[in-house]
């Protein structure tokens, strides 16, 4: 019998970003890519990201998280999923803050109200080899991509930011003018991104407002991507196009992003929703190693 058979899970969403939360803190089991794909392949437990909780590694933290995309690949950051985990661990109401950890670092979380949470996503990493990029660019506010005839020239000059995962932000006048489902996979897998990248189309509506559509590495089009909202806010502020506090509108709704002046950390605030609780049917893992 597979270690995940009959395990309880939470199906949640963070602004429409489909999230499954799986608590394995009391087992040593590490989900394999094949198991993650099997979970994603079932309608009841389909996800954009699977957030798996493991026993804490650092004193003072509540859990170490591994984060899986639909294709079974791993990410070290997921803003919307982190809010969902914060909800799940704080729902008994005895505390209103906690700290989570991924291989990218610590993520302090705070409850704002019953369904709204703020996550400290840490400082952005901005050097070319931290994104990472395959070749040196001294200024990551705008890099030049050599690409075939994808679309308009503007899609050749993204800003790049690492928020625990790699992001490329393409500045556009009208995101709906682009077929992101077609160009997303080409850009995600461009050789300049040795670890692939999450691809955003961003409109600057005002000094306090961005509109974003995201093609996610390993998951495709999603209704929201928290780390992309953080990355776009940082990139817009670095370009002088917005201040350090912005509202970011995604297809699923709005996130508030604050690139805190005092320590350079990025704070993300937004909602969570519990959809249902389930258990993994043993048949799910029949073919999964």
Ligand X SMILES: N[C@H](CCC[C@H](N)C(=O)O)C(=O)O
Out of 45, 227, 242, 249, point to the residue binding ligand X (CB under 6 A).
Answer: 227
Quick one: which of 92, 112, 88 has its CA closest to 100? 88
Number of residues in contact with ligand X, rule: CB under 6 A? 20
Q: Does 199 participate in binding ligand X (rule CB under 6 A)?
A: no
Q: Does 219 participate in binding ligand X (rule CB under 6 A)?
A: yes
What Cα–Cα distance (Å) separates residue 197 from each residue in 132, 134, 148, 184, 185? 9, 12, 18, 10, 10
Quick one: which of 66, 117, 67 has its CA closest to 89? 117
- Nearer residue to ligand X within complex by CB, 77 or 90: 77
| Residues 90 and 58: beta-carbon distance below 8 Å | no
| Residues 44 and 278: beta-carbon distance below 8 Å | yes
Active site residue 230: no
Q: Does 118 participate in binding ligand X (rule CB under 6 A)?
A: no
The active-site residue out of 84, 109, 225, 230 is 225
Out of 218, 252, 270, 271, point to the residue binding ligand X (CB under 6 A).
Answer: 218
On whether 79 is known to bind a ligand per the annotation, the reply is yes
Q: Strand, helix or coil at 275? A: strand
Out of 226, 252, 270, 271, point to the residue binding ligand X (CB under 6 A).
Answer: 226
Q: Does 252 participate in binding ligand X (rule CB under 6 A)?
A: no
* C-alpha span between 62 and 83 (Å, rounded): 14
Binding-site positions for substrate read 17, 49, 69, 79-80, 165, 198, 216-217, 226-227
Binding-site positions read 17, 49, 69, 79-80, 165, 198, 216-217, 226-227
Catalytic residue annotation:
78, 225
């Amino acid at each position: 019998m597979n270690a995940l058979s009959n395990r309880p899970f939470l199906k949640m969403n963070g602004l429409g970003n489909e999230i499954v939360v799986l608590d394995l803190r009391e087992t040593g089991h590490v989900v394999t890519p094949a198991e993650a794909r099997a979970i994603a392949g079932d309608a009841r437990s389909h996800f954009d990201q699977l957030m798996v909780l493991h026993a804490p590694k650092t004193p003072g933290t509540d859990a170490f998280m591994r984060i899986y995309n639909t294709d079974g690949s791993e990410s070290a950051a997921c803003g919307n999923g982190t809010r969902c985990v914060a909800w799940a661990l704080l729902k008994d109401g005895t505390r209103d803050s906690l700290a989570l950890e991924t291989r990218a670092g610590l993520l302090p979380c705070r409850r704002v109200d019953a369904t709204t949470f703020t996550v400290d996503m840490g400082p952005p990493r901005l050097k070319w080899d931290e994104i990472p990029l395959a070749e040196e660019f001294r200024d990551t506010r705008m890099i030049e991509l050599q690409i075939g005839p994808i679309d308009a020239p503007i899609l050749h000059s993204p800003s790049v930011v690492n928020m625990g995962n790699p992001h490329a932000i393409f500045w556009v006048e009208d995101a709906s003018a682009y077929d992101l489902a077609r160009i997303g996979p080409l850009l995600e897998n461009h050789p300049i991104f040795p670890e692939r990248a999450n691809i955003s189309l961003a409109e600057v509506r005002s000094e306090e407002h961005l509109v974003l559509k995201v093609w996610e590495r390993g998951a495709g089009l999603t209704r929201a991507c928290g780390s992309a909202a953080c990355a776009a806010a940082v990139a817009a502020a670095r370009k002088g196009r917005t201040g350090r506090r912005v509202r970011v509108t995604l297809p699923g709704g709005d996130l508030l992003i604050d690139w805190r002046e005092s320590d350079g950390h990025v704070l993300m605030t937004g909602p969570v929703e519990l959809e249902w609780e389930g258990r993994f049917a043993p048949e799910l893992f029949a073919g999964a190693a």
